[in-house]
Structure 1
Amino acid sequence: MNGKNAGCHQSVVSIDGVFFFYEQKKVIDDLCFDILERDFVGLVGSNGAGKTTLLRMMVGLLKPSQGQIKLFGEPVGGFRDWDLVGYVPQKNSLNPLFPATVKEVVLSGLYGKKKMFRRLTKADYQKCEDAMRSMSIEDLADRRIGQLSGGQQQRVFLARALINNPRLLILDEPTVGIDARTQADFFQLIRHMHQHHHITFVMVTHDLDMLQSYLGNEPVQACGGLKFFVKHTHEPEDCLETNLTHSLQL
């Protein structure tokens, strides 16, 4: 929902007059957009339109050339509550010899800047089990991440993003490298999570049919080559269950 008057929920992501230049080329031009609590935002655009650039600015990996982005009311540069945010980047550059196991990669989603050296608890390991089960990778827990197929690796990174039950989940082409059946199951899972859990979604995808089947045929806003499709859940009947696995296993 665009604009400050969109109503019943607070802003999760506020994009105010954002420009981004790459080598003097304007990639994003004066973008203003508010993403409210429990919005599901689908972001579509051609290659070079700035989709991934925008997501990277949202999570503080890039800085706007001009303008400001806030998360939960705080400027991204000063934001500290990163456990509220799950992020799956478009491509995970991974050394195939990297020695971490699947379980270790998923558990790493619990490590924030304030928690890097803390001791993991029994509850942490249970979160890891739930996240792996939700992505049907529990049988891969002790495998080295570099030994997995591309689709299996992507499910590991999805589980890593979900382990904290984040309030904001940012997904950049999350189903690349995943077979069609698993894609369908994954979209069923995130639709359920949007409808029944307190999670806001921002997702880049090229699967326009899937996107429009849930978010509608018309974008609510366009800026340059970017198109924003939005579905808002105003008054949810929240699930009594809070773990990831009660409704669906992929």
Structure 2
Amino acid sequence: MQQSTRPAGERCHLPVVSMENVSFQYEQRNVIEELNFQILQRDFVGLIGSNGAGKTTLLRMIVGLLKPDRGEVRLFGTPLGQFHDWERIGYVPQKNAFNPLFPATVREVVLSGLYGRKKLFKRMNRDDYKKCEDAMHALRIEELADRRIGRLSGGQQQRVFLARALVNNPELLILDEPTVGIDSESQENFFHMIRHMHQRHNITFLMVSHDIEMMHAYLGYEPAHTSGKIKFFVKHTHELDNCAETNLAHSLRGIRLAEESLEAVNRGE
């Protein structure tokens, strides 16, 4: 992928997702109506709203799984219908979208994140396996590599799906209820990990979560935008030394170090 020649600070303010007059109906009910919102590079956008507010619907439109009834969605400046660079986007869907009986190992699930929509049957090479090993190591699941995904705990499964989403070194990471069904300690570790990723690496985040306390703790209490029953909370980071960081191995090492540091604090060291 060709790197931008713009100054780092300017790149951090380019639009990643643009939604113009977007509307969507489900069973003749307006779920999303005339939504206008833009997500910029290095934004962390948290969506908060009641069940049925349209949060998951919005995420599914952004990743191309649903088509808006009206309006336009753009990804990195390209209309959704013309966008093909899906490797630039990592997506972790709701846990209930996963079939626990799916007969795949952790390694196979993480590797599947490298296939892409145009490369469903691509042959894996040495670099692909190295990316997979790096992602599993960073998320601390390398010892689970040969275990069936359905036999893991909820927290372990979420780490696998996050590793799968990160293995392609995405510029946009979309997370739909990533902490549902995992214990409080795993939730705390997860939020610590993604805060580190947002603060230190060139990744834009869009996340839905019912953990309102942790969302507010990082994103504040005043929404940047409200559309219907959905509130958009936004935090932007643009430390110039980090804006150009796109190296997967560096980013993933940073995640692991951040987790180890948190564990040391919790042990009182």
The TM-score with structure 2 as length reference comes to: 0.85
Equivalent in the alignment of 2:169: 165
CA distance in structure 1 between the partners assigned to 2:179 and 2:172 by the alignment: 18
The answer as to 2:87 corresponding to 1:83 is yes
CA distance in 2, matches of 1:8, 1:136: 30
Change (3 A) 1:43 1:35: same
CA gap 1:204/1:105 in 2 versus in 1, 3 angstroms? same
The residue type paired with residue 189 of structure 1 is: M
Any unmatched runs of 5+ in structure 2?
1-10, 261-269
CA distance in 2, matches of 1:95, 1:195: 33
Q: Does the CA contact (< 8 Å) of 2:18 and 2:77 recur in 1?
A: yes
Deviation at 1:42, TM superposition (A): 0.5
The answer (yes or no) to whether the contact 2:155–2:186 under 8 Å persists in 1 is no
Match of 2:258, SS? coil
1:232 is the counterpart of 2:231: no
Where does residue 258 of structure 2 map in the other structure? 248
Q: Tell me the residue number matched to 1:21.
A: 25
CA distance in 2, matches of 1:96, 1:192: 30
Does the aligned pair in 2 maintain the 1:98–1:145 contact within 8 Å?
yes
Q: Residues 194 and 236 from structure 1, CA distance in 2 versus in 1: closer, same or farther, beyond 3 angstroms?
A: farther
Aligned residue type for 1:244: L
The alpha-carbon distance between structure 1 residues 122 and 8, as it changes in their structure 2 partners (threshold 3 A), is closer
Residue of structure 1 in register with 2:137 after alignment: 133
| Ranges of 4+ aligned residues in structure 1 off by more than 3 Å | 92-97
List runs of 5+ in structure 1 lacking aligned partners.
1-6
Q: Give the 3 Å change call, closer, same or farther, for CA 98–27 of structure 1 in structure 2.
A: same
Number of matched pairs: 245
1:76-120 deviation line (CA, Å, top 9, x unaligned): 122100000000011343444322111000000001123223221
Could you tell me which of 58, 61, 84 is aligned with 1:57? 61
Q: Quick check: which one's helix share is greater?
A: 2
Q: 2:196–2:258: 8 Å Cα contact kept in structure 1?
A: no
Q: Is the 8 A contact 1:39 1:201 kept in 2?
A: yes
* Post-superposition CA distance 1:149-191 (Å, at most 9, x none): 3332222111111111210000001111222112112111111
Percent of aligned pairs with the same amino acid: 65
SS in structure 1 at match of 2:232: strand
Partner residue of 1:48 out of 13, 36, 52: 52
Report the alpha carbon displacement of residue 52 of structure 1 after superposing the two structures with TM: 0.3
C-alpha separation in 1, matches of 2:211 and 2:125? 39
Question: In the aligned structure 1, how far is the partner of 2:238 from the partner of 2:132?
Answer: 30
Q: Contact (CA 8 Å) 1:133, 1:249: kept in 2 or not? A: no
Contact 2:219 2:233 in 1 (8 A): yes
C-alpha RMSD over aligned residues: 1.9
Amino acid at match of 1:220: A
How many Å separate the matches in 1 of 2:96 and 2:89? 18
